Chain A
Amino acid sequence: MKHLLSINDLSKAEAISILDTAQELARASDGPMKKLPTLRGRTIVNLFAEDSTRTRISFEAAAKRLSADVINFSSKGSSISKGESLKDTAQTLQAMGADAVIIRHSASGAAQRLADSKWMSGSVINAGDGTHEHPSQALLDAFTIRKHLSKGANDLTGLRVAIVGDVLHSRVARSNVLLLSNLGAQVVLVAPPTLLPVGVQSWPCQISYDLDEVIASVDAIMMLRIQLERMSEMYFPNAREYSRYFGLNSDRIRAMKAEAIVMHPGPMNRGLEITADAADGARSVIVEQVANGVSIRMAILYLLLAGNQEIAENGVSS
C-alpha cells in the first residue's frame, strides 16, 4: 500500500491491521519514552490547503512520535494563498524531497489527483478532501468503537452505529459508512432528506429520517457537525427545528442502550447538533477520539512508510 486516499483502498484485513498496529503503538507510547525511531530521516509534509486544527496537529504529533521530520505547509501565508496551483505546489514538495504528503483540501478528489499525477512520487495520505472522504478519521472512529464495544473481537460484527446529521456534505460519514460496514457493523444514517445525497440508496447502510426511532437500537452514535452556512441554504427551516429532530440531548441519551457511546469528529456546535451534557456526559468518548487519532495516524504512517518492519524491532528510542 503506497497511498491512503479512500477507505476503498483498504481490504478488511488491511483495515484491521491498521487498528492492531495503532493499538500496539498506543501501548508503546504509554511507556516512558513516547518517541519511536522508525521514521528517522524521513520527511513528511503536512499540506493543509483548508483550515484544520485537530487533524493537522494529530498528524504532526504522530509523525514526530515516529521521529520523522515534519514540514507544515498551510494555505494561509503560503504560495497557495497566492494562487499557486496544486500541481506547482506538489512539484515544489517533490523537489524538496518529501517522502509523504498529508493533504487536506477543500476539493473532493484532491488527494487522488496528487497521487495519480506525475507531479510527485511520495506517498499521499488523504486528511480530508472536500465532501469526499476522511479515511484517518474513520479509522480512529472504528478504533474507538472496537476498543469500547467489540468485546475482544478484532472487527465490529454485530454492532449497530448511527451517523446523524449532514451526511450530504460529510467526508467523515462517507469514510465511516465504507469502513464500519466493511468491518461488519450495521450502519444507519439519520438525517433530514435534504441532507442525504441522491444516490445514497447504493451505499452499504440503512437510512432513517427519525432519530427517535433509531436511538434505542444503536451501540454507538456519531453526531456530525452542522456547518452554519447550511442555514442559509434551506436544508432545514432553522437551527431550533434541526436540534429538535436531529440533535442529541439528554432525553435521547437516556433512551440509548446501557453501554452505548457518543462520538463526534469535532469541531462541535454545542447547542445545535449536540447539547453540552451529551457532549460531556458519561457516554461521551469525544476526547478519547482525539487521543486515538494520534495512534491511528502513527499506524498509517508506519505502515505506508516503514513497510513490514516489526514494531518490536525498532524498540523504543533512547
Chain B
Amino acid sequence: MKKGNYLLTGLTLPNGDKSDIAISHGKITEIAANLSAADGFVNVDLAGSIALPGLVDLHTHLREPGKEDAETVLSGSMAAAKGGFVAVSAMANTSPVADTAGVVEQVFALGQSAGFADVFPIGAVTQGLKGENLAEIGAMADSRARVRVFSDDGSCVFDPLVMRRALEYVKKFDGVIAQHAQDPRLTQGAQMNEGEISSRLGLKGWPAVAEEAIIARDILLADHVQSRLHICHLTTAGGVEIIRWAKARGINVTAEVTPHHLLLTDETALSYDPIFKVNPPLRTQKDVEALREGLADGTIDIVATDHAPHPAEAKECEWQEAAFGMLGLESALSIVNQTMVATGLMNWESVADRMSYAPAKIARYGEHGKALTVGAIANITLINPSQIYRVDRDLVASRSRNTPFHGMDLQGAVTATFFRGLPTFLDGKLTSVHKSTSESVGN
C-alpha cells in the first residue's frame, strides 16, 4: 500500500453531517458520504467517531531540556497524539529556561524530529522567569521557532511595569503575553483553594482574589497599551466575570480553562493525595459551573491542558512537599466531552472552536485550526463520544504517571489522530510521521 492515502469512513462531522473523508499526500481530498476506496487507499473504519479539526494545545509542559525524567519532547508529543493533538505549545519553564533563541530552536527541532505533533515553543517573558528583565523576546520571535506566545508560566509577571513593557513589546510582531495570574504575596506557601475545605484540612489557602486581582490589572494594562493578553488556566467564577466584562468593553483579552478545572473541585484534597495538587488550585463546584458556562458562551476562548508531568517521587509524599501539576494531554478531549458535550452545554462545532480554531488563532499557528474542507492539511482528530474507558496511569504515553483521573471512567475516547495526513495514533498504536506506514499499521 502506498503511504499517505487513507479513506476514513463512518464519521460524523462537527456540524452533525455523516461523511467519509479521503486523505492523500497530507491533504484532505474528498469529504462526502459513502465514498468508496480507490486503489492504494487504506480504508479506516471509524464508525461512531466524530471528526474534529486536529486539536491544538496552548499550554503544555514538555520538561525538556532539564527534566527528562518527567517528560521529553518525544514522550510528550506521543501523549499529545494519543490525546488527539496535532500541535502543542511547550512552556518556557525548562532548565535552562526558554528565554533565548537557542533554547526555543532546540525544542522546536526536537518536536520536528519526534514527528507526532508540531511543538511550538513558548518563550519566557523575563530572563530566567524571574520577573525582572525582559527575555530576548525579539530574537525568539525571529528564530526558526517563530515564537509568538510569551509566558513566565509557573510564575506570574508580577511587576506591573514589566508586564506593561512586555505587552507593548510583543505588538511589534503581533505576539501575545500569556499570564499566569497569581499574586505571589497573597499566595506565599499556598497549597490549595482557600475556603471551607482548606480551613478544615489545615492547608494554607490560595485565595481566588490572588488570581482575579492580577487578571483585572492586566486587562486594564492591555487595554491601555492596546496589546494582546491571554489569561492562562482561569479557575474562578470571579475571573470569568472579569473576562466577560473586559470582552464586553472590547478589550483584546483571551482566556483558557483546563480540563481538570472543568471537572474536579477542592474536595479532592480531602484525601490529602497530592495527585490533586495543582497550580492554580482546584476550586469549588460553583467555580466549576461558572467555568463551564464561560467556556460554553465563549467568554473563555479555549481549553488548554496545562499538561504537567512529574516523576513519581514528586507526588508520593506529603501534600505540602509535593509538586504542583497533573497530566492532561491524553484525557483532555474525553473530559471536554463529558463535562461540556454530554451535558448539552456545547456542540461539536464549539469543541472544534475551543480546542482547535481558537487556540491556533491566538497563537498564530497558521497551518493549524482550519476547518475540515477539501484541500486543507489533513490534521484530524477522531473521537468516539459514547465509548467509556477507565483511565489507567500505567498505560499512559507520557513518561510520568501523575494523572488525577486514574481509576475513573471517562466518556469519549480518541480513536485516531491524523497529523499532516498520517496516523500518529490509530488502532491504539502511536506512530511517528517519520516512520513508514507498513511499520506502524497492523504490526
Chain A residues within 8 Å of B, Cβ to Cβ? 85-87, 105, 107-110, 112-113, 116-117, 129-133, 171, 174, 197-203
**What are 24 of the A-B contact pairs (CB < 8 Å)?**
A85-B313, A85-B316, A87-B313, A107-B321, A108-B201, A108-B202, A108-B203, A108-B319, A109-B201, A109-B272, A109-B318, A109-B319, A112-B272, A116-B272, A117-B316, A131-B203, A132-B201, A174-B200, A197-B198, A197-B199, A199-B198, A199-B205, A200-B199, A203-B200
Q: Tell which of B194, B204, B273, B318 touches A199, judged by Cβ atoms closer than 8 Å.
A: B194
Contacts of B317 in A (CB 8 A): 85-87, 113
Does B197 sit within 8 A of A, measured CB to CB? yes
- Name the distance in Å between B193's Cβ and chain A's nearest Cβ: 10
Contact assessment for B272 and A202 in the assembled complex, using a CB-CB cutoff below 8 Å: no
Contact assessment for A107 and B318 in the assembled complex, using a CB-CB cutoff below 8 Å: yes
Q: Given A109-B272, A113-B272, A116-B273, A174–B202 Cβ distance below 8 Å?
A: yes
- Name the distance in Å between A207's Cβ and chain B's nearest Cβ: 12
Q: Given A85-B316, A87-B317, A199–B202 Cβ distance below 8 Å?
A: no
Query: Top 3 A-B pairs ranked by shortest CB distance?
Result: A109-B272, A199-B199, A132-B202
Does B195 sit within 8 A of A, measured CB to CB? yes
Residue of chain A at shortest CB distance from B318: A107
Contact assessment for B272 and A199 in the assembled complex, using a CB-CB cutoff below 8 Å: no
Contact assessment for A87 and B199 in the assembled complex, using a CB-CB cutoff below 8 Å: no
Contact assessment for B199 and A198 in the assembled complex, using a CB-CB cutoff below 8 Å: yes
Contact assessment for A198 and B318 in the assembled complex, using a CB-CB cutoff below 8 Å: no
Residue of chain B at shortest CB distance from A49: B318
Chain B residues within 8 Å of A, Cβ to Cβ? 191, 194-205, 207, 271-273, 313, 316-321
Contacts of B195 in A (CB 8 A): 198-199
Q: Which of A107, A133, A174, A198 has the most CB of B within 10 A?
A: A107
Given contacts A85-B313, A116-B271, A174-B202, 16 further A-B contacts (CB under 8 A): A85-B317, A86-B318, A86-B321, A109-B201, A113-B273, A113-B317, A113-B319, A129-B202, A131-B203, A174-B200, A198-B198, A199-B195, A199-B199, A199-B200, A199-B205, A202-B199
- Name the distance in Å between A234's Cβ and chain B's nearest Cβ: 11
Contact assessment for B313 and A107 in the assembled complex, using a CB-CB cutoff below 8 Å: no
- Name the distance in Å between B322's Cβ and chain A's nearest Cβ: 9
Query: Bound state CA distance, A202 and B320, in angstroms?
Result: 23
- Name the distance in Å between A82's Cβ and chain B's nearest Cβ: 15
Query: Bound state CA distance, A85 and B198, in angstroms?
Result: 24
Q: Tell which of A86, A131, A202 touches B202, judged by Cβ atoms closer than 8 Å.
A: A131
Contact assessment for A87 and B201 in the assembled complex, using a CB-CB cutoff below 8 Å: no
Contacts of A198 in B (CB 8 A): 194-195, 198-199, 205, 207
Query: Bound state CA distance, A86 and B320, in angstroms?
Result: 12
Contacts of B319 in A (CB 8 A): 107-109, 113
Query: Bound state CA distance, A2 and B30, in angstroms?
Result: 65
Query: Bound state CA distance, A313 and B317, in angstroms?
Result: 42
Contacts of A199 in B (CB 8 A): 194-200, 205
Contacts of A113 in B (CB 8 A): 272-273, 317-319
- Name the distance in Å between A164's Cβ and chain B's nearest Cβ: 18
Contacts of A107 in B (CB 8 A): 318-321
Contacts of B203 in A (CB 8 A): 108-109, 130-132
Query: Bound state CA distance, A148 and B431, in angstroms?
Result: 74
Query: Bound state CA distance, A197 and B320, in angstroms?
Result: 18
- Name the distance in Å between A137's Cβ and chain B's nearest Cβ: 14
- Name the distance in Å between A64's Cβ and chain B's nearest Cβ: 29
Contact assessment for B320 and A130 in the assembled complex, using a CB-CB cutoff below 8 Å: yes
Contacts of B191 in A (CB 8 A): 108
Contacts of A110 in B (CB 8 A): 318
Query: Bound state CA distance, A109 and B320, in angstroms?
Result: 9
Query: Bound state CA distance, A85 and B207, in angstroms?
Result: 29
- Name the distance in Å between B14's Cβ and chain A's nearest Cβ: 42
Contacts of B205 in A (CB 8 A): 197-199
Contact assessment for B318 and A105 in the assembled complex, using a CB-CB cutoff below 8 Å: yes
- Name the distance in Å between A315's Cβ and chain B's nearest Cβ: 41
Residue of chain A at shortest CB distance from B321: A107
Contacts of A133 in B (CB 8 A): 202
Query: Bound state CA distance, A200 and B316, in angstroms?
Result: 30
Contacts of B204 in A (CB 8 A): 131
- Name the distance in Å between B328's Cβ and chain A's nearest Cβ: 24
Query: Bound state CA distance, A112 and B317, in angstroms?
Result: 11
Q: Given A113-B318, A198-B205, A108–B197 Cβ distance below 8 Å?
A: no
Query: Bound state CA distance, A1 and B118, in angstroms?
Result: 54
- Name the distance in Å between A269's Cβ and chain B's nearest Cβ: 21
Contacts of A174 in B (CB 8 A): 200, 202
Query: Bound state CA distance, A116 and B204, in angstroms?
Result: 22
Contacts of A117 in B (CB 8 A): 316
